[in-house]
Every structure is written in C-alpha cells, then in structure tokens.
Amino acid sequence: MESLVAELYDSLRTHSSNECVVDYSLDTPMHLSKKQILIMASALSKDIKKITNSNRVGIVIPSSAVGVIANLAVLFSGKVPVNLNFASTPDVSTHCLRKARIDLVLTVDKLRRKFPHFPYPSKTICCVEKLKQYKSCKYTLIKNLLINLLPKFISKRILNIPSKTENEEFGVLFTSGSSGNPKGVSLSHENIRSNINGICAMQPFPTESKMLANLPLFHSFGFTVTMWMPLLKSIPIVTVPSPLEINKSITAIEKEKITIVLGTPTFLRGYLRKGSSNKFKSIQFVVAGAEKSNIEFIKQWESLAECNYLEGYGLTETSPVLSLNTTERGIKHGTVGRILPEVKVKTIHPDTHEDLRRHESGILCFKAPSVFTHYISDQEKTENAFMNEWFVTGDIGRMDEEGFLVIEGRLSRFSKIGGEMIPHETIEQTALKILKWEINDEVSLVVVGKPHDTKGEELYLITTQSINFDKLRKELSEKLGNLFAPKKHIVVDEIPVLPTGKLNLQELKNLV
C-alpha cells in the first residue's frame, strides 16, 4: 500500500486547477489551487532537505495556506512534521523541541514578532520570505510546474515522494499538557489514514462541501480533520489563523459559503453571540468535540443555522476521532455518537482495572488502527498508557443500550470521597444553574479536588466572582447530596485555561 504522502500527492494532482485553500490570514483573502499548493510545497521541500539531516521538522505556523504548504513540504522532503504550540511557555516549548530532536523550525515573521520568546533554533526558515523568493524566480516555478505536470508516477520519482509503509511515523503531536509536561504522540501513516477513512465512512460529506479551518495545526483536530482529511478527500478549506478570530471566521463563512464548521463549545459560543442566521445559512454541519455540549447550546446552533450539530469524541493518541454522531448512523444528543468502524471499546473498573459489562460505566479503553503505538522518547509513559494492548484513556464513560457512547468525565475530573466517584462537571453545571450564571466564552466556575488525609479528597470551588458560598453549598447538598458540596471557596481573576480552550488542570491544582 502506498504511503499517505503519496496518496496526498495523487489527490492534489487530481483536478489540480480546482480551488484548494482560501487564506483569510491576509488583509485580502487569497485563493490557491491544488496546483499552486503543490508547486510551492515541492520547492520548499528541496530547501528543507538541504538544511537538516534530522528526521523531524518543527512547524510554528497558524492555520493558513503557508501552514498547509509547510506541512506538505516537510512530508515531501521525506521528514516528519511536528506542529508546535507557539503560545506555550519557553520551558514547555524547549521541552518539546528536545523531546522530538528538532533542529529546524519553519515559521512566519508575523508569528515570530507576536511570540518572540519561543526558543527558535539557529536553523529557522521564515516561510513567507522563501515563498516570495520562489515566486520571483521564474526558473524555480517553471521547473516545479513541469515536474508536477508529468505523469504522477514519474513526478513522484523525481520529487522523491516517500513510499513508506503505513507503520512509519507520519507526524508528531504534543498533548495539551493540562496535567503536566506535554507528551509527544507519534502517529503513523496508517493511524491518520484509518481515522480519515473511518470519519468519511460514518459521515459522507456532499461533493460541494467547503470547510472552515481555523483550529490550530498543533491540535489533533486541526491536524487531521481540518488539514489532511480535506486535502485527501478534495474538500476546499478556508483558513483563519485562530478560532478566537470570530468576526473573521463569520465573514469567511458568509462570503465563502462554508458548509462545515468545527470547534470546541468554548470556541463555538462566540459565533452565536456575534453571528446571525443570514450569515450562517450555508452551514450544513457543525462538528464539536473536546468538551461536552449541553442540549440548549445544540438547539441554539441548529435553530440559528438550520444545520446538523454533530458531537464527537477523540484524543490526540487516537488520531483523534473515536466516535461521532452522524446523519447516516444516527444523532443522539447527550452522547458522542457511535464508534467508528474498526474501533473496539471496553470499560474497566477505575480501582481494580477489571473488565466491566458492556453497558457499565468505567474507564474507557480502545483498540483501533487509529490508536498510536508510542510516546516519543518515553517508554515508561507508553507502557503506562496501555493494558494488554488496550489504550487506557483516563476518561469515564459507557456504551448505552442503543450503541451510543456516553462520556461522563475525565478521571482527573472526578474525586473519590467516602468511596464514591464524584464528577466535578455535574457539580459545576448544577452550580451554574443555581447561580443563574450565563454560559459565555470564558470559564467562570470550576471544581477542583485536593488530597485529604481521611476523606481521600475534598472539593474546592473556584469562581471569578464573589458568591454566597454557604447558600450555594446548602442548595448543592439538597440537589445532589452532601458529598457533592465543595468545602472551600476561592475567588480568582480568571480560571486558567490552555490555548486549546481546555482547563489547565496543573495550574488549578497549584491554586488549591
């Protein structure tokens, strides 16, 4: 079987004059065809080969045409792209560079000015300047154009497009680091390919589809679902540098008639606040993950955009998608859908790790071609992630009687008190209703567990506003039970979150 890189090349060569990327990172949107993307990536790949002998190349670029070109160029050079979180602290970024053994980073000047503290190595290519050089050199462009016009098998041979087996490394992504230093997840050709094929088998997208690609490329959803999947399946993408650029994203949706929007509920809330139905009339699918979507929020989206709100579930280690609500296989709100083809699931007891019955709640474990094989340079963490060939997620959930997957929370977001597993999210949602606080773009309330000598853990409530804590505790006890009432309260200016929108669990633990 051909490598995924060869498949991507073939896809870009098919109907190569068709639109591939519309880039909204610029003042005036730039439209690029498949052919233009190929020519630029081919030229850049040659420079990458000359500059480094390392197997992996770092990429510090937001979602954009340049980001797509840089990732393709690294693959075409026979190397492995490692998209890095440019908003991380210098210590975390240095940790990632060392872990991946990276000595060359591709970036753009605009980002370098915005994040000057990122530890760029001496070998750093500013891609916009390189691409301008290629554009001004007619010889380079004509040569690469002619190569990419030859029959595919000849072009691939001249360009040395890798024909690696599916077990070879395709990309490395670092986990969010919500509970410690990020772990480098090695994903193979087969991991990414099987995940893309599984998504498309579950939810075929119409031929006229167009996708908004504003998720970070260092995020597993941005890497697989808004970059490689559309490139492989010939779905045009419209890039916006950040999901926080809501106004620019709404403009792109309206003007480019985007049909597929992806994001976390945290990011998707901004659209509802600033958008309107006439701007969203092209949207057919909203695909959400990473956090739980409440039913009122889903109804708001489906009413405003007349779309299907498809909630799914996945992790960086699973390439990422494991399950998805779909129009083809059924939508059941309150669940994260049915598991993808070739994915096997089971639950184990949180304490004994014994296998549970199919519909019993426990730690979710998976086997699938999309599941990674190892963390880079970390055998101990790799061994701890698996149990008898099953990947142990650390998420609590169950399969319901209709075959839909229900996520009940992250194990790290449960506290064991008096022998019971107490879910923090249940307390948070109930507290928000009692306080009558609106769910907005920012996290305003969170529950954290702190180790306790006799009880196992005790609960702290952290809020961004002063409240009548005794009154809230009383109402939580009445509604949920005494074990669900936090014992202490802390007021902070803001709740610490990561650039992906997830809670920064490590910082929260430090707070208590």
Q: How far apart are CA 260 and CA 249, in angstroms?
A: 12
State the DSSP string of 347-374: EE-TTT-PBPPTTS-EEEEEE-TTS--E
Q: 264 — phi, psi (to 5°)? A: -90, 155
CB 135 within 8 A of CB 141: yes
Confidence of residue 106 (pLDDT cuts 50, 70, 90): very high
* pLDDT(83) > 90: yes
Supply the pLDDT for residue 394. 84
Q: How far apart are CA 348 and CA 355, in angstroms?
A: 4
Output the CA angle 497-498-502, nearest 5 degrees: 70
- Beta bridge mates, 107: 60, 126
Q: How far apart are CA 281 and CA 402, in angstroms?
A: 32
Closest CA to 314 of 294, 293, 282, 339: 339
User: What are the tens digits of pLDDT across the range 227-262?
Assistant: 999 999 999 999 999 998 999 999 999 999 999 999
Helix axes 65-76, 127-136, angle to 10 degrees: 80
DSSP 357: P
Q: 487 — phi, psi (to 5°)? A: -90, -30
Task: Kindly report the three-state secondary structure assignment for every residue of 139-176.
Answer: HHHHHHHHHCCCCHHHHHHHCCCCCCCCCCEEEEEECC
Residue 131 makes CB contacts below 8 A (sequence gap 6+) with 40, 44, 66, 69
Q: Which CATH number does the domain 418-511 belong to among 3.30.300.30, 3.30.1330.60, 2.60.40.10, 3.40.50.2300?
A: 3.30.300.30
- Beta bridge mates, 105: 58, 124
Supply the pLDDT for residue 455. 67
User: What are the tens digits of pLDDT across the range 262-282?
Assistant: 988 878 888 888 877 788 999
The token pair at 382 is: 């790799």
Sheet holding 321-324, edge to edge: 30-33, 19-23, 237-239, 211-213, 260-263, 285-288, 308-314, 321-324, 338-339
Supply the pLDDT for residue 177. 64
* pLDDT(102) > 90: yes
CB 248 within 8 A of CB 26: no
Q: 312 — phi, psi (to 5°)? A: -135, -175
- Beta bridge mates, 375: 185
CB 370 within 8 A of CB 202: no
- Beta bridge mates, 22: 31, 238
Closest CA to 509 of 415, 385, 444, 435: 415
- Beta bridge mates, 415: 422
User: What are the tens digits of pLDDT across the range 130-177?
Assistant: 888 877 777 666 777 777 777 777 877 777 787 766 569 999 999 876
Report the relative pairing of strands 169-174 and 184-188 from DSSP bridges: antiparallel
Q: How far apart are CA 325 and CA 400, in angstroms?
A: 14
* pLDDT(191) > 70: yes
Q: 321 — phi, psi (to 5°)? A: -75, 130
Helix axes 127-136, 138-147, angle to 10 degrees: 90
Supply the pLDDT for residue 96. 94
User: Quick check: helix, strand or coil at residue 65?
Assistant: helix
User: What are the tens digits of pLDDT across the range 4-26?
Assistant: 999 999 999 999 899 999 999 88
- Helix, strand, coil abundance in the chain, percent, nearest 5: 35, 25, 40
Closest CA to 486 of 498, 469, 466: 469
User: Quick check: helix, strand or coil at residue 395?
Assistant: strand
Residue ranges per structural domain of the chain: 4-396, 418-511
Closest CA to 195 of 57, 50, 314, 20: 314
CB 210 within 8 A of CB 238: yes
Supply the pLDDT for residue 413. 74
* Percentage, residues of the chain above pLDDT 90: 55
Class of domain 4-396: alpha beta
* pLDDT(124) > 70: yes
The token pair at 17 is: 């004059």
Confidence of residue 438 (pLDDT cuts 50, 70, 90): low
User: What are the tens digits of pLDDT across the range 310-357?
Assistant: 999 999 999 999 999 999 999 999 899 999 999 999 999 888 889 999
Q: How far apart are CA 447 and CA 484, in angstroms?
A: 10
